[in-house]
Copies of this chain bind each other. A is one copy, B any other.
Amino acid sequence: MFNISATYTDLYQLRMSQAYFKNNKHEQTAVFDYYFRKNPFEGGYTIFAGLEDLLQKLKTLKFTRDDLNFLKTQNFPEDFLNYLKEFRFHGKIFSVMEGDIVFPNRPILRVEATLIEAQLIETILLNLLNFQSLIATKACRMRWIAGNRALLDFGLRRAQGPGGYYASRAAFIGGFNGTSNVIAGENFNIPISGTMAHSFVQSYDNELEAFRDFALQLPKQCVLLVDTYNTLKYGVPNAITVAKEMEARGERLYAIRLDSGDLAYFAKESRKLLDAAGLEYVKIAASNQLDEYVIKSLQEQNAPIDIYGVGTNLVIGKPNGALDGVYKLAVSNGKPRIKISENLIKITLPHAKQVYRVTDKNGTWIGADVISLKTENHIETMHHPFDPFKQMHIGDLKQEPLLKEVMSNGEIKIKIRTVAEIAEYSRKRFEQLPLEYKRFYNPHQYKIGISSLLKKEQETLIKSHKN
C-alpha cells in the first residue's frame, strides 16, 4: 500500500548529507545506535516491533525521479543530486530480533554504514520502529491481562491516518487475535474480523428483522450488536429469537456484542438471559473505550466477556502516543564519539556495542542486560551504573548476544518471518520475563550493567572532552 521513497525523511538529513558530500566526508564510516529512554505506559518492558518491515523498505529505498526534481527546486547542488540518484543503503545492521522484549537506554539496533547512508535512513528507521514498538507494547499489556480471551483491534477509524495500517500489524505481534482492518489483513496476513454497526440495525424498521437478515446471510461467525435501542429489553431477546431460528437450521449464533453502557452489568445480565434460553455457547463480545485498565477492572468484576474489541486506546498507544526512540552517533571516521548534555543521564556510550541478556543457572533472566564493546565475546564482570563502585561477576552465567546481523551490504541476512511467526516468538520471549516487570503499577525496571572495558572507554572520552 505504501511506496515509501527516500524523501520520507527530515530535510536536515539531506542538508547534513549535502555538507558531508561537499566536504568529502560522506564515505567515512559511522556507527549509530537506536535506543529509547523510557518504557511506555509507565511499564516495565517494551516489545520491539517494526524491524522486518523496515528491512524490506531499506532494501529498496531510493530517490525517485519525482523526488530528485523536487529536490532540485530546493537548491541542492547538481553533483549532490547525482549522488542521490544512485543512493542505496549498502550498510550493515545489527539488531535485536523483532518481537523480543527490550528495555531503555541500551542499543536495540546498530547501524554500521557510511556517514551519509547512516544519516539518510535515520528518519524512516525511527518512524517505523518507534511507532510499531509502542503499539506492540500496548497490545502485549492487554494480552497479558486478558488471558485466553480474544482481543480484536477495531481502531482504524480513530487511528492517526495511515498509522492505523502499521498499528494493526504491531497489535498482532503484541498478542492480538485479529483486526477489523481489511488492508492490514490482506497485506500482513493477519486474521480479520467484523460484524455489524448500529447503522445496520437502524436501516431496518425493526431490530429483529435486521438480526434475521444478517444471520441468514452470515450463518458462520454471526455476531449481533444488541444495544441499538434497549439491550436487555429488546436487543438480547431478539438475538435469542434469531439464535433459536438458527438452531432450527442447524446453525449456531456465534456471539452478541455490547458497545455501550456499563459493560460488566450488561454482560452479566445478557449472560443470564442467554443461559436461561439454553444458549450457553453464544459468546459475549464487548467494545467501547477499552484499554488494559478497563479490561483488568471488568475481569475483577467477573464480567462474562469472551471477546474484547479495542479501538482508539490501542491504535494510538494512549496515553503516550510515541516511543521516545533516538538514533545516536557512537563512532565516526573510526573514532568513538560521545554527546555530553547538561543531564548526565543523557551521556551516550561510545563505540560499536553489543548487548547481552544474561540468564542464571535456573534459566531465569537475571534482571540486567550487559552492554559491552562489540568485540568482547564474553563478559566476566559488569559495572553497575547506579552503583559505580560495585562490580558483579557474571562470567559463569549464560550470555545471549541480542544484536545479530540482520542486514549486510543492503541485503537482508535473516529469514523474513510471517507476522504470526513474529507474534509467536514474542509470546515465548515474554514468558521468560519475570512477573515483577509485567505488573501495571510501579513495575520493576530491568537494569543495565556496563562491561568494565566499555566503562573505561566512556570515562576516557569524557575526560578528553573536559580538557
Check if A3 sits within 8 Å of B1, measured CB to CB.
Answer: yes
Give a binary string over A322-340; 1 marks a CB under 8 Å from any B CB, 0 the rest: 1111011100110101111
Cβ of A163: which chain B residues have Cβ within 8 Å of it? 131, 159-164
Give a binary string over A226-246; 1 marks a CB under 8 Å from any B CB, 0 the rest: 011110000000000000000
Cβ of A261 under 8 Å from chain B: yes
**A1-60: which residues lie under 8 A (CB-CB) from chain B?**
1-5, 7-16, 18-20, 22-23, 25, 28, 30, 32
A23-B217, A329-B203 known; A157-B30 Cβ under 8 A: no
Check if B261 sits within 8 Å of A200, measured CB to CB.
Answer: no
Residue of B nearest to A118 (CB): B199
Cβ of A303 under 8 Å from chain B: no
Residue of B nearest to A189 (CB): B70
Cβ of A321 under 8 Å from chain B: yes
Check if B156 sits within 8 Å of A131, measured CB to CB.
Answer: no
Check if B132 sits within 8 Å of A161, measured CB to CB.
Answer: yes
Cβ of A325: which chain B residues have Cβ within 8 Å of it? 158
Check if B194 sits within 8 Å of A127, measured CB to CB.
Answer: no
Check if A162 sits within 8 Å of B2, measured CB to CB.
Answer: yes
Check if B18 sits within 8 Å of A67, measured CB to CB.
Answer: no
Q: How far apart sit A147 and B229, CA to CA, in the bound complex (Å)?
A: 49
Q: How far apart sit A329 and B200, CA to CA, in the bound complex (Å)?
A: 9
Q: How far apart sit A100 and B13, CA to CA, in the bound complex (Å)?
A: 35
Picked from B194, B205, B321, the residue with its CB within 8 Å of the CB of A15 is B194
Cβ of A260 under 8 Å from chain B: yes
Interface-side segment among A89-97, A312-320, A361-369, A393-401: A312-320
Q: How far apart sit A138 and B291, CA to CA, in the bound complex (Å)?
A: 24
Check if B74 sits within 8 Å of A192, measured CB to CB.
Answer: yes
Cβ of A435 under 8 Å from chain B: no
Cβ of A176 under 8 Å from chain B: no
Cβ of A82 under 8 Å from chain B: no
Number of interface residues of A (CB under 8 A): 108
Q: How far apart sit A337 and B206, CA to CA, in the bound complex (Å)?
A: 11
Q: How far apart sit A153 and B263, CA to CA, in the bound complex (Å)?
A: 41
Interface-side segment among A101-109, A180-188, A370-378, A402-410: A180-188
Q: How far apart sit A8 and B7, CA to CA, in the bound complex (Å)?
A: 24
A182-B7, A228-B339, A321-B318 known; A22-B217 Cβ under 8 A: yes
Check if B319 sits within 8 Å of A319, measured CB to CB.
Answer: yes
Picked from B10, B28, B131, the residue with its CB within 8 Å of the CB of A160 is B131
A199-B32, A229-B340 known; A321-B329 Cβ under 8 A: no
Check if B10 sits within 8 Å of A181, measured CB to CB.
Answer: yes
Cβ of A128: which chain B residues have Cβ within 8 Å of it? 161
Cβ of A136 under 8 Å from chain B: no
Picked from B10, B19, B70, the residue with its CB within 8 Å of the CB of A157 is B10
A-B contact pairs, 26 of them (CB 8 A): A1-B2, A12-B195, A12-B196, A13-B194, A13-B197, A16-B196, A25-B203, A25-B213, A66-B186, A70-B182, A70-B185, A74-B192, A115-B203, A127-B157, A127-B159, A128-B161, A130-B157, A131-B161, A160-B160, A198-B339, A199-B328, A202-B332, A202-B339, A228-B339, A261-B342, A316-B321
Please give the residue numbers on chain A whose beta carbons come within 8 Å of chain B beta carbons, in ascending order. 1-5, 7-16, 18-20, 22-23, 25, 28, 30, 32, 66-67, 70-71, 74-75, 115, 119, 122-123, 126-128, 130-132, 154, 156-167, 180-183, 185-186, 192-200, 202-203, 205, 213-214, 216-218, 220, 227-230, 260-261, 312, 316-319, 321-325, 327-329, 332-333, 335, 337-343, 346, 465
* Contacts A15-B218, A160-B166, A162-B163 supplied; 17 other A-B pairs, CB < 8 Å: A1-B4, A8-B156, A8-B165, A8-B182, A9-B182, A16-B200, A18-B218, A22-B217, A67-B186, A119-B197, A127-B158, A127-B164, A161-B165, A202-B337, A261-B341, A312-B322, A316-B321
Which 4 residue pairs across A and B have the least CB separation, nearest first? A11-B194, A163-B163, A160-B163, A12-B194
